[in-house]
Amino acid sequence: MNRKKAIIYLCSLAIATAAFSAGCTRLSEGSENSDVSFEANAENLEEGSVAKAENCVKNFINAINTQNFDGIADMIYLPENAFVSDKNVEWYLQRSGVSDITGVKIKNFDVEISDGALTKDATVYINKSGYQLSLAMDTDNQWKIVMNDMFVENWSLKVPKGCTITVDGVDVDQYKIPATAIDVYDTYTFPAITKQSVQVDTKSSLFGSFTQTITPSADSETVPLICKINDAETTNILRQIQNVWNALYTDYTNGVDIESVKKYFTDDFDNSVITDIMFNYFQALEKPAESEDQVSYSNFYMKEAIPWTTNNYGCAILNTSDSVLVNFGYRLDFTSTNGGSYTLKKISQITMAYDSAESTYKIKQVNDPKLFYNNDYTLNDY
């Protein structure tokens, strides 16, 4: 290497070394101040969080004071998809301790916020009074007022399958869990709903509308909707139960085949039960539980079908949109081979479905099979 090239190389190396050293110095200087920077950021974040929480409290108090409740439900910490409206929150606040600031002229107003990452406590001073509030941060990182006493969680309604409902006039289909083979009722589950009485309107395609007032009271509570059929239609259903029973017994005594009696049952009815009725149940009915003289009985006819209710549950209640569960008492008149006349009175239950095409009720489910073979002649239920 000649002398000129060596000088140029050494100069270049010196410049590169100086630049690298300067870079290391700046990085080292930055590292020395990093803890201070992080602490400052943490303080700023906490101050910002407190300011947001304080602002949340002020907006909430102002809404109560001015009675401007539009959007107040958005200020409350609630489960996702809660069935809670501004009106519901207003109803609750009117019954809470902060209701006494409504319309008050505020001369002094101060808020103290405690530290906390996801929850905070707030002490609010208004004039000469103090109030305690709790706050929680939601999934959108917004501070909300905690009022857990206002609502219940995971509250459900059991509704006859196929019916539609509204709650306080609001369509609630988004909360619906359809009926299954195991659970024959549609279920409406609300993540949260206030403890205020609600009006539930149930609509059946065949039986019209039913209105009930229900008050949610506990978490995870399930309330069945009891839709009672009106008296006139109940009387009609009981008459048709009587007619169907007598028609089946007549066909049994005449030896009519199974296919011919299917007309008294819905299309989805279990054929094996029809076979039992025609070949087993009625035969058992004609023989008493205990008979020393082997007397047989015949000419069974249902002469009466009356409403039967327990705990005001209802005689005929909606089971699905087009079927009715019927609780009733019935009277059978019959005779014996020795010429005696007898009467049997029992209580039973059956599900009847309305066939619109034929304008009649058919048997959908035999809830109590003993309806067709109860041969305990010594004991009447009523």
Grouping H, G, I as helix, E, B as strand and the rest as coil, residue 196 is: coil
Paired strand residues for 136: 119, 144
CA-to-CA dists, residue 353 to 92, 249, 270, 308, 310, angstroms: 43, 20, 14, 19, 22
How much is the average pLDDT of 116-145? 95
**Looking at per-residue confidence, does 46 or 352 come out higher?**
352
How much is the average pLDDT of 127-141? 95
Q: How is the chain split into domains, by residue range?
A: 38-146, 151-224, 231-372
Domain 151-224 in this protein, CATH class? mainly beta
How much is the average pLDDT of 198-205? 97
Distance from CA of residue 128 to its chain's centroid? Answer: 44
Spatial distance between the Cα atoms of 300 and 382, rounded to a whole number of angstroms: 18
| 122 pLDDT higher than 80 | yes
| 251 pLDDT higher than 80 | yes
pLDDT of residue 185: 94
Whether domain 38-146 has CATH 3.10.450.50: the reply is yes
**CATH number of the domain at 231-372, out of 3.10.450, 3.30.110, 3.30.70, 3.40.50?**
3.10.450
| Span 268-306, pLDDT tens digits | 999 999 999 999 999 999 987 665 567 889 999 999 999
Spatial distance between the Cα atoms of 173 and 148, rounded to a whole number of angstroms: 25
pLDDT of residue 236: 98
Spatial distance between the Cα atoms of 298 and 249, rounded to a whole number of angstroms: 10
Banded pLDDT at 126 (limits 50, 70, 90)? very high
Paired strand residues for 158: 187, 224
How much is the average pLDDT of 239-262? 98
Spatial distance between the Cα atoms of 123 and 267, rounded to a whole number of angstroms: 67
| Residues found in the chain | 382
Spatial distance between the Cα atoms of 219 and 229, rounded to a whole number of angstroms: 30
Q: Where are the alpha helices (DSSP H) in the chain?
A: 3-32, 34-66, 86-93, 231-253, 258-261, 271-276, 282-285
How much is the average pLDDT of 236-245? 98
Average pLDDT, the chain: 88
Same fold: 38-146 with 231-372: yes
| 79 pLDDT higher than 50 | yes
Q: For 83-87, 103-107, 265-269, 328-332, which range has the lowest pLDDT when averaged over its residues?
A: 103-107
| 9 pLDDT higher than 50 | no
pLDDT of residue 313: 74
Burial category of 227 from C-beta neighbours within 10 Å (exposed 0-12, middle 13-18, buried 19 and up) = buried
| Span 15-59, pLDDT tens digits | 333 333 333 323 333 434 444 444 444 454 456 689 999 999 999
